[in-house]
Amino acid sequence: SQQGEEDPQALSIQEGENATMNCSYKTSINNLQWYRQNSGRGLVHLILIRSNEREKHSGRLRVTLDTSKKSSSLLITASRAADTASYFCATGDDKIIFGKGTRLHILP
Amino acid sequence: SAVISQKPSRDICQRGTSLTIQCQVDSQVTMMFWYRQQPGQSLTLIATANQGSEATYESGFVIDKFPISRPNLTFSTLTVSNMSPEDSSIYLCSVARGPGDTQYFGPGTRLTVL
């Protein structure tokens, strides 16, 4: 079964706006990872956040983690057309389990 | 990070046949995994490829259908046996240097079974 559940399942925003995706999980974790996948291609690793971290940044990406609520969010600021992709959260140490993903579409 | 290659990148196969997918990493890694992604779906873990021993399969996946080899720390194969159209998916290998480390993915193999 899948550990993470992303919300929303799909999101369309105008280019330049910020996009926020959420991930909820069920059991305790040591870390959580976010990935991007463009049009059914391979997965690109975005950020790994550990359970003792609350926030992490990478360029236009900001990831937060709230272990008390068992949730994480991915914020993409100043979105671009190239950000159009599916985004997945994944949890686990020795093997990782993926959520269903959020399909993000950036409108020109 | 690790550079991962997969062969073939795509294939179209007839039902009843088998296809072996190769995964090569540019450095030694402790952990290797195989995932399946059915059309429009998320990734599902098939098995953990163990170096020098039998793979560890997830619920719903069996060795007879998806035999896996991992002869060393940089290479693994996944065979999809006796294929049916339901096996049409993207198959991805992934690697991690150790538990809790970042997991990297190969480009995937897109399989279509007619």
| Alpha-carbon distance values, B15 to B81, B101, B107, B114 (Å) | 10, 38, 24, 6
DSSP reduced 3-state for B12: strand
Beta carbons of A32 and A46 less than 8 angstroms apart: no
Residues from chain B that touch A48, judged by Cβ atoms under 8 A, are 102
CA-CA-CA-CA torsion for B22, B28, B33, B34, nearest 10 degrees?
A: -10
Q: What is the full DSSP assignment across A34-72?
A: EEEESTT--EEEEEEEETT-SEEEETTEEEEEETTTTEE
Q: How far apart are CA B104 and CA B114, in angstroms?
A: 30
Give per-residue pLDDT as tens, A13-69: 999 999 999 999 988 899 999 999 998 678 999 999 999 999 999 999 999 999 999
B7 pLDDT above the threshold of 60: yes
Burial B41-56, CB ≥16 within 10 A → b, else e: ebbbbbbbbebeeebe
Q: How far apart are CA A102 and CA B13, in angstroms?
A: 31
A3 pLDDT above the threshold of 70: no
End-to-end CA distance of chain A: 37
A2 pLDDT above the threshold of 90: no
What letter does residue B80 receive in the DSSP assignment? E
Q: Which residues in B have their CB inside 8 Å of a CB on A?
A: 1, 31, 33, 37, 41-45, 48, 90, 92, 94, 99-100, 102-108, 110
Are residues B107 and A95, on separate chains, in Cβ contact within 8 Å?
A: no
The better pLDDT of the pair B13, B100 is held by B13
What letter does residue B38 receive in the DSSP assignment? -
A1 pLDDT above the threshold of 50: no
